[in-house]
Amino acid sequence: MTRISPTHRALGLSCGIVLALSACTPTGGGGGGQAFDWDFRNGDGILNTSDAAAAAIEQRPSPDGRGVISYPDYQVAVAQRGDTVASVAARVGVSTDELARYNALMPSDNLRPGEIIALPRRVASADGSTVPLGATAAPAGVDVGAIATTALDRVGTPTPPATTKPRGNEPVRHQVKRGETAFSIARSYSVSAKALGEWNGLGTDLSVREGQYLIIPVAGSVAPANIASVTVPGQGSPTPTPPSAAKPLPAEKTPLASEKPKQTPASPDLSGTRTAASAAKMVMPVQGSIIRPYAKGRNDGIDISAPAGSSVKAADAGTVAAITKDTDQTTIIVIRHAGNILTVYGGLDGISVKKGDTVARGQSIAKVRAAQPSFLHFEVRRGVDSTDPVAFLQ
């Protein structure tokens, strides 16, 4: 069977697209159709952003004393400086675990000032007072049990409908699905990504996570008065003559591919510079794609998509330090390695090791638990401090 290289496949696809597009352009003077619009600026159904640019966006409503904004069909809480999911739950009077699962977060996750947190159910009206935030002291040593208990944010928890329809002037509430970005969501609702980020307290990179709830900014009824008129592309200013049209390019002799380049240095041998650290990379605990990346203080590991029942392997040789369960009774394994390194595995089933066992690098320790979606939560910690696992993996 003849294999087609990615390069040839890409070239064939590109040529097919060019030929298909060129078929839209009359090749002769007697053609009856219009010339193909190469920049897609004319004709029916074109993308026109002038209305969106002129539309005014209302300000997000101010929250009450507890940071709660109430709408007819739902409520959201606005995080304050220094808030975690647990502190917001205590302030508004809901269960910490319930609030964390509803927003695809962990109870200990830090929140940005102004970040929107969806409430799983309605809370009583506030009297204007704010519950003081409590301070939690950092542990003096490495508490493996505590690390294991909070390792996994959520596995297999049913999610409510993704989008809440508005009523009156109530904003649409959208739940982020896999593959969506702030830009794609903003485009689907005809609002700017900047306004979406401001209403929901997103970070400067406008990153969103699967399962997160966003409220869609409400467009104002009056457009700004200082919107400048939009000039139709190709009109209003003369098109400058490109330099290549005024002066021909200089003659250039292109060497043939069969000719050996002159004075080509020999490729260096890097085997002697390989360090112990580069040779000691961990193995992937399960084969799959990363569906949720590491984010310090928000997701202390990575979530790797894998079919239920997939074998989970020890990332490196070590000793099983703890086998416990999180608040959702999902099994978690912690393995201690040399150099005060801990690896944490969450979302497991079919455990094949016990506490105190010595495991080899790549040894099967469990299976991936069935969930929607099914995935492995994997962390690497230096003592109690989490670090990006990707830097440790091959």
Helix (H/G/I), strand (E/B), else coil: 92: helix
Taking the C-alpha atoms of residue 145 and residue 324, their distance in angstroms, rounded to an integer, is 7
Could you state, in order of their start, the residue ranges of all structural domains in the chain? 68-127+147-215, 280-392
Q: How many residues does the chain have?
A: 394
> CA torsion angle for 29, 34, 36, 41 (degrees, to 10)?
140
The whole-angstrom separation of Cα 205 and Cα 197 is 9
pLDDT at 48: 55
What is the rounded CA–CA span in Å between residue 313 and residue 324?
17
Fold of the 280-392 domain: Glucose Permease (Domain IIA) (2.70.70)
Q: How confident is the model at residue 274, as a pLDDT?
A: 45
Q: List residues bridging with 379 in a β-sheet.
A: 344
Q: Which residue, among 210, 232, 276, has the nearest Cα to 39 in the 3D structure?
A: 232
Reduced to 3 states (helix: H, G, I; strand: E, B; else coil), residue 182 is helix
Angle at 89 between CA 139 and CA 65, to 5 degrees: 120
- Here the tokens at position 137 are 């002291």
Predicted pLDDT at 243 = 64
Tens digit of each residue's pLDDT, the chain (394 residues): 545 554 444 444 444 444 444 444 444 444 444 555 544 555 555 555 555 444 567 788 888 888 899 888 889 999 999 999 999 999 998 999 999 999 999 988 999 999 999 999 888 765 543 333 322 233 334 555 555 555 544 443 333 445 554 555 688 899 999 989 999 999 988 888 899 999 999 988 999 999 999 999 987 644 444 444 555 566 666 777 766 656 666 777 777 776 666 666 665 555 454 444 444 588 999 998 888 898 887 888 999 999 999 999 999 999 999 998 876 677 899 999 988 899 999 989 899 999 999 999 999 999 999 888 889 999 999 888 888 998 888 6
List phi, psi (to 5°) of 122: -75, 145
- Per-residue confidence (pLDDT) for residue 126, from 0 to 100: 57
388: Cα within 13 Å, side-chain hemisphere: 8
Q: Nearest 5 degrees, angle CA 152-CA 153-CA 157?
A: 110
Give the list of residues 6+ apart from residue 296 with CB closer than 8 angstroms, or none. Answer: 386
Whole-number pLDDT of residue 391: 87
Tokens 């997939």 — which residue?
A: 310
Q: Rounded to an integer, what distance in angstroms lies between the CA atom of residue 186 and that of residue 216?
A: 8
